[in-house]
Structure 1
Amino acid sequence: MNLSGEASSGPRVLTARHISADISLPETNNEINSTLLCHSYDLDPDFETYFAALQTYAWVIFACGLAVLLIICALYVITLRSAVKHWRDQMHHVAVVLSIYPIVAASALVMIVVPRSRLPAEAVAQEAVMVALYHFFCLVIAECGGTEQFVRSAGGADLETRVMPCCCWPCCVIPRPKLHKGSLMWLRYLVLQIPIIQGLIYFILIVIWSEDFMLYQGNFVYFQPFIAASILSGMWGVVMCVRAAISVGRAPRPRFLVIQLVLIIVKLQCGLAKSVPNMANLSCVMKLHPGVFASLINNCIMMLEMLLISIWAWRVYSSPPGKDMEKVQRDRVVVAVLEDNMRSIEVKSIKDGIDNKSFNNNVPEI
C-alpha cells in the first residue's frame, strides 16, 4: 500500500489491518477510569477550578466560614474586656495569647477559599501559636510577681525537670536545679527559641514551595525532626514553668490547656489530615483531589474548634487569677501545725525517757 498516495488523496484515517472499523471496542472499567481521573486532578488547584468544583456549595461554605470568623473576633473583644478587670498590668500578654483564636480561624478560612494558600496560611497560624506560647510564659512569670518575687515565693525549692515530654527514661537522670534567676532565664531562652526556629524553618519551606511544589512535597519530611525537636523542647520549658507556678499557689493550668489544644489542632490534626489521602484510597468527591477535599473538611472543623475554644477562653480569663492561693496557704498552715505537733511529741517522749532513766537510777538494787 502506498502511504503517500493514500495521504494525498484526501483526509483519511489509517488503521491496522487486523482491526475492523465495524467492530466497536469493549468498554473499560469506569470505576478504574474515575479513580485515575480523580487522582489526576491538581493537588494545588487554582481558584476558578476549585470554585467550579464546589458548585453551589461554595457560597454556603464561604458564608458560614465568614460568620464563624466574625463570631470569634467578637468573642476576642468580649474576652479582652472581661480580662482587663483582673489582668490590667499584663494586658499586652493576654491580648497576644488570646489573638491566636481569630488568627488561626482566619488562616483556616483563607485556606478554605484559596487552596493554593495552604502553606503560607499554615505558617501564619503556627507562628501565631508559637509567639503566644512565649507570651504565656511571660504572663505566668508576671502573675507570680516577677522573677524576684517568684524565686522568693519558691523558697529555694527544686525546679521539677522530669515533666512532659521528658518524664520517662532516659530523661530520669536529668538533675533538678534550684529555682533561681538563672534557671528562670534558662527557661525563658528555651521557650523563646520556638517562634524563632519555627519562623526560620517555615521561611525556608515557603521559599522551596514557591520554587517548585513537587520539590516541597519531597523534602518536607526532612524538616520534621527539627520542627518536632524545637516544639518539644519549648513545651518542656513551659510545663516546668507552669509546674513551678502551681507550687507557689498560682493556677495557670486551665489557661495553659487552652493553648495546648490549639497547638494540637494546628500541628497534629492538620498533619493527620495531610496523611489520610496517602494512607487510604479515597474516592473522588465533587471533582476534587482527595487531598484538597480532606484539607477543606479539616479547615471547616478547625474553625468550629476555634469557636468552642474561644468560648472556653472567655470563661477562663473572666475569672481572677490565683484562686488556689488560699488553698496553698491553708495547706502550709496545716503542714506547719503538723510539724509543731510532731516536734512537741518528740520533746515529750525525750522528757519521758529522761524521767524514766532517772527513776530507774534512783531505785536501789536488791
Structure 2
Amino acid sequence: MNANEDYLSMDTTEEISRVLDLKKNNTMNLRTHPSVAEYYENMTAFLSLAIFVASLLTILNIAIFSTTVSRLRRHLNKPLLWPSIIMVSLYPIISVAALVTILVPYSWFICHTVMHVMFMVGGPVFRTLLFRYVISEQNYVKETSMEAVQLNTPPCCCCCVCLPMVIPTKAKLCISRYMVWQMPFWQGSIMMVMNILYYRDIQLYRQVMYFFIPFIICSIVLGAWSLQITVRMITKLRGDYQLRKKMFCLQLVVMLCKLQYLVLYDQLDAIKMGGEYPINHTVYKQTIINILILVEMVLVSMMVQSAYRTPIQVQVDEVNKEKEITRI
C-alpha cells in the first residue's frame, strides 16, 4: 500500500509539473518580446552590431534633417517655414522610433504606432502647406477662375473613371479638407484602442485586430485620394515646386513603415533565426526590418531635402524689393 501511495503521489506530482510547464510554455509563446533585463542579459553579437549600426543611421538622419531645416530657415518666410519643417521632421522621428524598437523590443507596437502617426500628422500639414503655396483656398479659386478638376487620381483612379470633373467651390474644398483631417482623429482613436488591447490583453488583441484593418485602410485611401487631387490642383499654378515629389515622399511613410512591415513580417518567417526565448525569432526578425527602415529613411530624407529645395521664397522677395527700390 505504501508503494502504491508513493507511486500515485509521484504521478500527481509529475502531472502538476507537466501542467505548470505547459502554462509556462504558453506564457512564453504569448511573450514573444523579452523584457529589457532579459534582452540585455542575453545579448548576442548580431544584436550588438544592429544597435551600433542603427545608432549611426539615426544620427545620420538627424544630421540630414538639421541641414535641411537650416536651408529652409534661410529660404522660406514664416507662412511656409513651419509646415515645411514639420514635413521634413517626419523621417528622423521614424528613425528614432525604429532605433527604440531595436533597443527595447517590447516597445515595438508603440514605436510602430508612432511611425503610423507620422502619416496621419503629415497629411493635414501637407494639405495646409499646399494651399499656403497659393496663399489660401479662396485665392486658389480666384486664380483658377473655378477651373474644373479631375477626380480620377491614385489610389482611386480605377474606380473613379466614371466620375465627372468637379468645379472647386468653398463647400467642395471643405469636403476635401475633412477627407484629410479624418485621418488623425479616426486612425488615432483606433491605434489608441489597439495599443491598450495589446499591452493589457494580447489574446484579445489577436482576436479583434483584423476587424480594425478595413477601417484603417479606408481612412488612408480617403486621405491619400484627397491629397492627390489637391496636389494636381496646385501643380497647375505652382508646377515648379516639385509637389508630386513631396507627395511621393509622404506616401513612402505608409509604403515603407506599414505595407513593407506587414509583408516582411510574414516573409521572414520562412528563414529560421534566433533561438529560444528570450532572444527568439521574433526579436531577430523585427531587428532586421527596423534596420531596413532606418536605411530607407536616410535615403528618403535625402530625397526630401532635394524636394524641399523649392520654392526659394526669401530670395524672390528680396529681388522684388530691390526692383521696387530701383523704380522709386
TM-score (norm 1): 0.73
Mapping for residues 146-295 of structure 1, pairs under 5 Å: 146-169=136-159, 171-250=160-239, 251=241, 252-276=243-267, 280-287=269-276, 288-295=279-286
2:117 is the alignment partner of 1:127: yes
- Look up the equivalent residue of 1:142 and give its one-letter code: R
Paired residue secondary structure (2:167):
coil
Q: How does 1:50-69 map to 2 (within 5 A)?
A: 50-69=39-58
Check conservation: 2:72, 2:85, Cα contact below 8 A. Answer: no
Provide closer, same or farther for how the CA distance between residues 262 and 5 of structure 1 changes in structure 2, counting only shifts above 3 A: closer
Q: Aligned runs of 1:307-318 on 2, under 5 Å?
A: 307-318=298-309
Structure 2 contact 133–238 (Cα < 8 Å) conserved: no
Tell me if structure 2 keeps the 8 A contact 1:273–1:295. no
C-alpha RMSD over aligned residues: 2.6
SS state at 2:284 partner: helix
User: Counterpart of 2:153 in structure 1: which amino acid?
Assistant: V
Whether the 8 Å CA contact 2:118–2:253 is kept in 1: the answer is: no
Contact 1:156–1:178 at 8 Å: present in 2 too? yes
Cα deviation 1:4-57 (Å, max 9, x = unaligned):
14778xxxx99xxxxxxxxxxxxxxxxxxxxx9xx9594222223333444233
Report deviation, 1:199.
0.6
Question: Which residue of 2 is the match for residue 99 of structure 1?
Answer: 89
Give the direction of change, closer, same or farther, for the CA distance of 1:92–1:157 in structure 2 (3 Å limit): same
Alignment CA distance shift 1:321-1:183 (3 Å): farther
1:49 and 2:38 matched: yes
Q: Quick check: 42-51 or 127-136, which moved more?
A: 42-51
1:87 corresponds in structure 2 to 76
**Unaligned stretches of 5+ residues in structure 1:** 15-35, 323-366
Tell me if the contact between 1:97 and 1:133 (Cα under 8 Å) persists in the aligned partners: no
Letter in 1 for 2:116: Q
Matched, 1:140 2:130: yes
SS at match of 1:156: coil
**For the residues of structure 1 that align with 2:214 and 2:296, how far apart are their CA atoms?**
27
Residue in 2 that maps onto 1:304: 295
**Alpha-carbon shift at residue 68 of structure 1 (Å):** 1.6
Q: Which residue identity lines up with residue 76 of structure 1 in the other structure?
A: F
Question: Which residue in the other structure is 2:108 paired with?
Answer: 118
Distance of 1:161 and 1:264 partners within structure 2: 22
Larger radius of gyration: 1
How many pairs were matched up?
293
Shift of 1:258: 1.2
CA shift, 1:192, in A, is 0.6
Amino acid at match of 1:188: R
From the two aligned structures, give the one with the greater helix fraction.
Answer: 2
* Distance change in 2, residues 1:161/1:42 (3 Å): same
Judge conservation of contact 2:83–2:128 (CA < 8 Å) in 1: yes
Q: 1:247 to 1:111 in 2, by over 3 A?
A: same
Question: For the Cα contact (< 8 Å) 2:32–2:280, is it kept in 1?
Answer: yes
1:119 partner amino acid: F
Contact 1:111–1:121 under 8 Å retained in 2: yes
Distance change (3 Å), C-alpha of 1:41 and 1:173: closer
| Contact kept in structure 2, 1:190 and 1:233, CA below 8 Å | yes
Measured in 1, the distance between the counterparts of 2:73 and 2:249 equals 19
Unmatched segments (≥5 aa) in structure 2: 12-24, 314-328
Work out the CA distance in 2 between the residues paired with 1:258 and 1:95. Answer: 14
* Displacement after TM superposition at 1:97 (Å): 0.7
CA gap 1:60/1:293 in 2 versus in 1, 3 angstroms: closer
Q: Which residue identity does 2:155 align to in structure 1? A: P
Q: 1:326-346 CA distances to partner (integer Å, 9 max, x unpaired)?
A: xxxxxxxxxxxxxxxxxxxxx
**Equivalent position amino acid for 1:265 in 2:** L
